[in-house]
Amino acid sequence: MKTIQSLTILGGGTAGWMCAAYLAKHQPNLSITVIESSSIGRIGVGEGSTPHLQLFMQNLGVKERDWMPACQASYKTGIYFDNWNGDNGSYFHPFFSEMDAKTAEVYFVNANARRRGSEYIDKPEHYFLAAVLADKQQAPLPQRPLPRALEYGYHFDAQKLADWLRAFSLARGVKHIQSTVSSVQHHAKEIIALTLESGEQVKSDFYVDASGFNALLIEKTLEVPFISFADQLLNDSAVAIAGAKINPLPSSTSAIAMPCGWRWQIPLQGRTGHGYVYSSAHTTPEEAEAQLRQAAQLDKGQATHLTMKVGMMARCIEGNVFAIGLAQSFIEPLEATALMVTGYSIELLNRLLSQQLKAQAINQQLSELVLGIKEYVLAHYATSKRADSPYWQDAKIAALSLNELDELLTHWRSGGDFDAWLNQHRMHSPYIRPSWYCLLGGMDHRDSTCQMPFDQAPQHIEQAAKAYLTKLSDEHFTAHTTALEQLQRAQAFRA
C-alpha cells in the first residue's frame, strides 16, 4: 500500500471524532479532515462502554479528570440482567480482572456442579470484585494501590463525549468542515473526491466512512454488500427518554427484560438514561414508549425514537475507504459493545496506515469480532426460559438458528469439559471463559435430567472468597458519588 499522507473522515459523532483524536495522537504527520453536517443528527443509543474505552483514553494520553466531568461520565462495573427468565430474578455480569483470578474459580466450580445435577444455585456476583463494588454502589477506582489492575467501563453522555473528542482533535491540528456532502466522485473501488453542497471538493489519499447507518461511502458508493442479522436479532428499534438522577448513584447498568425486548437504565452524574430496545414486528413505537414510561415511571421527558440497521458490512475496508461505527456494523447495545468495536477498528486502521497490517487481515479480524459479539448477545435469548409472549418465543427460535451457538449450548448442557471445548472452539472469541460462565450460570441454563458426578466448592472456601472480596472493597474503594466528587475537584484544581 502506498504511503497515505492525507485522510478525510466523513461524519462526526462519537465514532468520527474518536477516529480523528486517535489518529491525531498516533499519526502526527497525517493531514486529517473531518466533514460533519449540522443537518444530520447524531445517534447515541446506550451511553455505556466496556473497559476498552478505558484503554482508548489512556492511549490518547488523557486522564479521567480531563474528560469524565465534561461528559457527565460515571463508572461502570458491569451489567445487571433482570427478569430475563420471567421469574423476577437477576444476575450480574461483571467486568473480569486479574484480581478475580482465584475467587472466580470458586464460582466456576459451583456453576459446573449445577449443570451436572447439583441442587445448589450460586450467583456470579458473589465471586467477582466488580460485582461486590456494584452491590455496594462503589466506584471501581482504587483509593489505595491494588496488586493488579482493575478493568472497568463508563457511562457517559454520548453527545458531550463527541464534543470533547472534537475539541481534543482540533487542538491537535485536525481540520473541521461543517457541511453536507452532495456527491461522491469515484473510479472503480477508489474514492476520488467528495463534493460539498457549496461546490467545494475535498480530496484525500484515504477516507473513513463514519456516516452512520447511511454508509454513504462504503455501501452506497462502493457497493459493499450489507449482511443483515435481522433473521436472528429481532430487535430493530429503540425509544430513549432521560430521567432524574438516581441517589445514591449506582456504578452499574441495568438491562431489564420487557414484553417485546429489554430496557436499559444508565446512571450518569446529572441524569439517568432510560431506553427500550424492541422488535417492531411485535409492538409499535407508541406502545413501546408507553411501556417504557410505565416501567421506568417516566411521566415527563421527551422521547427519542430510533430505527436500527442490524448487521455488518461484508468488508469494512474497500479500496481507499475504511468504515467505522454504525457505517460498519451494529448489534443492539445489550453488552454496550459499540464503542469497543469502534475503538478496536481505529487501532487496526492505525496499524494499516503504519503498514503493519493488510486490509484482508483487518477485514477478517473485524468480521470475527462482530460475529463473536452477535453470538454472545444471541445467547441471552437462546437461554431465556421466558415463553410468555410471541416475542420471547420468536426470539429464542431465532437465536437457536445460529448453529454455532446451538453447538456451544449443547456442550454446556451435556456436562462435559466446557473449558476444554472453549479453548478448542472459541480461542478468538471476544468473550472469554468468565463471560460465558456468568451468562450460562447466571441464566441457570442446564439440562435438568443431566446427572453426573460433580465436586462442589467447600463452604469454607466459598466464605473465604466472599470475605476476601468484601475486605478489598472496604479497604480500597469508596462510594461512587465520592469518587466522582474527587474527580470534579481534581479537574477544578487543574483548571
The catalytic residues are 76
Q: How many CB atoms lie within 10 A of CB 337?
A: 28
Q: Are strands 206-209 and 6-10 parallel, antiparallel or unpaired?
A: parallel
Could you give the dihedral angle defined by the CA atoms of residues 167, 169, 172 and 175, in that order, rounded to the nearest 10 degrees?
A: -100
390-400 and 403-414 are packed helices; what angle lies between their axes, rounded to 10 degrees? Answer: 90
Beta carbons of 140 and 99 less than 8 angstroms apart: no
Distance CA 202, CA 167 (A): 22
At 126, list the grid cell: 458473589
Residues 191 and 417: their CA atoms lie apart, in Å, by 51
CB-based contacts of 184: which residues, under 8 Å, 6+ apart?
A: 191, 193, 194, 195, 216, 217, 221
Radius of gyration of the chain (CA): 23
Which residues have C-beta within 8 Å of that of residue 454, sequence separation ≥ 6?
A: 112, 113, 116, 117, 118
Residues 6+ apart with CB under 8 A from 27: 350, 353, 354
